Structure formats: structure tokens, C-alpha cells
Amino acid sequence: MVSETISSSARTVTVSAERAGQRLDNFLARYMQGLPRPALYRVIRTGQVRVNGGRAKPSRRLLEGDRVRIPPARLAQAKQANVPPAVLEKIASAIIFEDAELLVLDKPSGLAVHGGSSVKWGVIDALRQIRPDSAPELVHRLDRETSGCLLIAKNAAVLRRLHEQFRNHEPGKRYFCLMDGRLPEDKVIVDEPLKKQERSGERYMVADAAGKPARTEFRLLENYSGFSFVEAMPLTGRTHQIRAHSTCLGLPLAGDGRYARPERLAYWKSRGLERLFLHAHSLTVRDADDEPLQFTCRLPGALREVLDAL
């Protein structure tokens, strides 16, 4: 249980043992449902949210007994996301595994995992409507354009256990991707730090010695005429990591509207590719008994058709 005190100026929530170890931003998301992530980060950054009376970063890991101040003005703005029925049905049909602790989704391309400045709702909002009696939380994230295995925890204890695995880079994550060019060897490892930049309001990751460490392994599965169908294994968990490291090789992913040149996007559209060719096909984590759990999502038909036509 979580104990609360409410005043005219703020609500203060005391962190329970169950939620100890959770990041501050994820903790707040449960109390500010419907508030876009950029707005949530803004209230943290401006000091409206306090932990034990002091400012804190979104990534701070909370401890049992920590007291978190939540600003009521923002709570009044945080309304339940209204996800269209057709999307609810689409997401419900994309669930490939569910038990008392976990839910695994074959996330369709084009759906954000949570609401933000440009979208009012995301996959997690839909799941909270589909499973109103549970408390689903994102264990990790996929880019909006990426499809495939998305892991959801159904309670705080499971979330904390899986977050620990992801912090230690333990889960086995494997992606199918199509590189626009030939991978020079059967196996290539890119070990390049990545740093966030913005151009025209869009976020990019670029190789920079001042960036955060990032390492990706690429294994060639099949060569086509000038293209490479590859399995990518990110050994760290940076934003856009596979997309940015592919670009470092001079082989941006097919259909990548952020990293590829406009003329290449036009080429791939002429070949029938209307999305980014990146699919999270396999994810392995450990259960409560330390046994491996592996989930797989087949390559979507639209991507398979592109390969068949090459």
C-alpha cells in the first residue's frame, strides 16, 4: 500500500516497499495518468516535484520511505487518455502472452508506447483501458516506427525485478532489420558512444566521444542485390541505437525517415515499404525463479513482402 497526505498546495506520497527501486518518472506516471511525458519531465525539471524536500532527476531510484511531492495543478490537467475503440481492439489482438505477472505485445509499427507532445495516447494507455483491474507498466520502450516484442509488467514488484535486469543489460534483445547497402562482413560490432542532438525539432543520436557508451552486434542473415537482411543485437540500451549505429556504418535502415536520405525513402516507398524496416523479433528475460523466458514475434507480412520482392 501507499500512504498519502493531501493539502491545498500539494499531495505527498510515501514510497512503499513494493515501489522501492522504481524510477521517479515511472512512479509519477501512475499518479499523473494522461499527462504527456514531456510535460511530466518539465514539472520535475522545474522543481514542482520534490523527493524528501529536494529536487530530483527523472532517473532517480526511489527508496522505501521517500516522500514525493506531486503538484495538484498538474494533476487536474492529467485526464484519462481516450483511446479509439479500433485501436483498443488492435492492441488487444496483438497480445501474444499473458500471465499473472507479465503481458507481451507484438507492437504494431506506427503506435507510440506512451503519449507525448505529438500524440495524446500510447500503447500503455490502451492497455490500462483493456486491463482496468491491473496496473500495467512499460518495462522498456520501442520507437514508434518499430514493431515487435514489447514487455509489460502487471505489478510494481515485477516491474522492479525486470528493470534491474534491463539496467544490467541482461535481457537478450534481437531485431530483424534491412540495411540499405551491403554489410562488409558476416559479423560486425559497432562500439560507438551516442549523443543526443536536435535538428529542426527532431531528436537524433550521433556518434560522439562525449556521448554515452553504446555497443551493437550485427549479424548477416541474407544478402540481396545491394542490401543486407540482418539480425541486430543491442548490447546496451540507448535511444535509436540500432538506427544510429547502422548509420555509422553508412548503411541506414530501409525506410528510416529520420536517418536516411530523402531520395532513399522515395526509393523504398516505390518498392512498397511504407515504414521503418526494424522489428523486435525476440526478447529473453529471467522469471522470478531465475529461469529464462523467451518471447518471439514473427516478421510482419508487410516486411516479408518487401524481402520477397528483392
CATH class of 85-167: alpha beta
**Verdict on whether the full-model pTM lies above 0.85:** no
Q: Is the pLDDT of residue 165 over 70?
A: yes
Listed ranges 47-56, 155-164, 184-193; the one with the highest mean pLDDT: 184-193
Residues annotated catalytic, as ranges: 143
Q: What percent of the chain stands above pLDDT 70?
A: 92
Asked if domains 85-167 and 172-309 share a fold, the reply is yes
CB atoms within 10 A of CB 263: 7
Asked if residues 139 and 151 have their Cβ atoms less than 8 Å apart, the reply is: yes
CA dihedral 175, 181, 184, 188 (to 10 degrees): -20
Mean pLDDT of 157-178: 92
What is the C-alpha to C-alpha distance for residues 219 and 254, in angstroms, rounded to an integer?
16
Q: Is the pLDDT of residue 246 over 90?
A: yes
DSSP state of 23: B
Structure confidence at residue 234 (pLDDT):
96
Structural domain boundaries in the chain: 3-77, 85-167, 172-309
Span of 41-55, 59-73, 76-90, 251-265 with lowest mean pLDDT: 76-90
What is the C-alpha to C-alpha distance for residues 150 and 249, in angstroms, rounded to an integer?
27
Q: Is the pLDDT of residue 130 over 50?
A: yes
Cα Dmax for the chain: 67
Structure confidence at residue 1 (pLDDT):
40
Q: What would the CATH number be for the domain defined by 3-77?
A: 3.10.290.10
Q: Is the pLDDT of residue 238 over 80?
A: yes
C-alpha distances out from residue 114 to 81, 82, 223, 278, Å: 10, 13, 35, 19
Q: What is the distance of C-alpha 232 from the center of its chain? A: 16
Q: What would the CATH number be for the domain defined by 172-309?
A: 3.30.2350.10
Asked if residues 104 and 97 have their Cβ atoms less than 8 Å apart, the reply is: yes
